[in-house]
Amino acid sequence: MAILGLRLQQRSPVLAGFCYPCFSFASVTSCAVNSASWGRALNRAPRRLVLGLGASFWAQYMSMSGAFTGKSFIASARLKTNVDEILKNAEWPEQFPFKEEDFQRFDESPDSLFYEAPRFVTHIDDPAIAALTKYYSEVFPPSNTPGVAILDMCSSWVSHFPKGYKQDRVVGMGMNEEELKRNPGLTEYVVQDLNVNPNLPFEDNSFDVITNVVSVDYLTKPLDVFKEMCRVLKPGGLVIMR
């Protein structure tokens, strides 16, 4: 598991409310099902089979927009790599190479149905959780720093923040209210389906840190969500995605 954190030094350009042409892909992972297992996969009725949008997506988006001029960090349970070196000679396509239909899923029923019942489970194993929490402890502002606000997107009953970590404002955005109510690290929460409404209900420059971990690959409107993240992030803020 790798976690990418980007510290942004300037706001990406916005023309008529649309960040363009600052979108690109260099690394896309798709779920492949061979003919032998296709029937079994359909019988299991997978909830989602979507393109995996890795942390490099955000890095490429911000790099093309000119906003990715600060430091980058990577944390891994096993492998340590310098993201700056990986992205140094990358070549970005001039236009976003995917169409809306590329983000369609086999199961297009409303996400609200799937998330209607709370699920108090974790979606990564203990070593991955430990690596993520350790990374947070290294890059987050110190606990109880005056004026610091954090947005945890696609949140749930646990955010894997360091134990006892507090800020005056920690907002969780997720799909199930019961799960969000159970999260001890949040000071407030918003229930919203980003695949229906990708617009974030916050003012510009609201947050010092935005986390979006273990869920970014479920987004069907990633460009819209990323533009909104850029909008609500304070200049020089930190975005952490996995």
Can you give the pLDDT at residue 212?
Answer: 94
- Can you give the pTM of this predicted structure? 0.67
Query: How many separate domains does the chain show?
Result: 1
Can you give the pLDDT at residue 48?
Answer: 37
Per-residue confidence of the chain (242 residues) as pLDDT tens digits? 455 555 554 443 333 333 333 333 333 323 333 333 333 333 444 433 333 334 444 555 555 444 444 444 444 444 556 766 777 788 888 888 888 888 988 888 888 888 888 888 888 999 999 999 999 999 999 999 999 999 999 999 999 999 999 999 999 999 999 999 999 999 999 999 999 999 999 999 999 999 999 888 889 999 999 999 999 999 999 999 98
Can you give the pLDDT at residue 92?
Answer: 83
Task: Render 121-175 in DSSP notation, one character per residue.
Answer: --SS-HHHHHHHHHHHHHHSPPTT-TT-EEEEET--S---PPTT---SEEEEEES
Can you give the pLDDT at residue 197?
Answer: 97
Show the CA angle centred on residue 124, arms to residues 80 and 239, nearest 5°.
Answer: 60
Tokens 């779920």 appear where?
31
Question: Where in the sequence is the domain holding 32, given as residue range(s)?
Answer: 2-241
Q: Nearest Cα to 223, choosing from 51, 8, 5, 69?
A: 51
* CA–CA gap between residue 11 and residue 77 (Å, rounded): 31
Element (H, E) at 96: none
CATH number of the domain to which 181 belongs: 3.40.50
Return the DSSP state at 15. B
- Output the CA–CA distances (angstroms, integers) from residue 152 to 63, 139, 170, 208, 240, in the order listed: 23, 15, 7, 11, 10
Can you give the pLDDT at residue 94?
Answer: 87
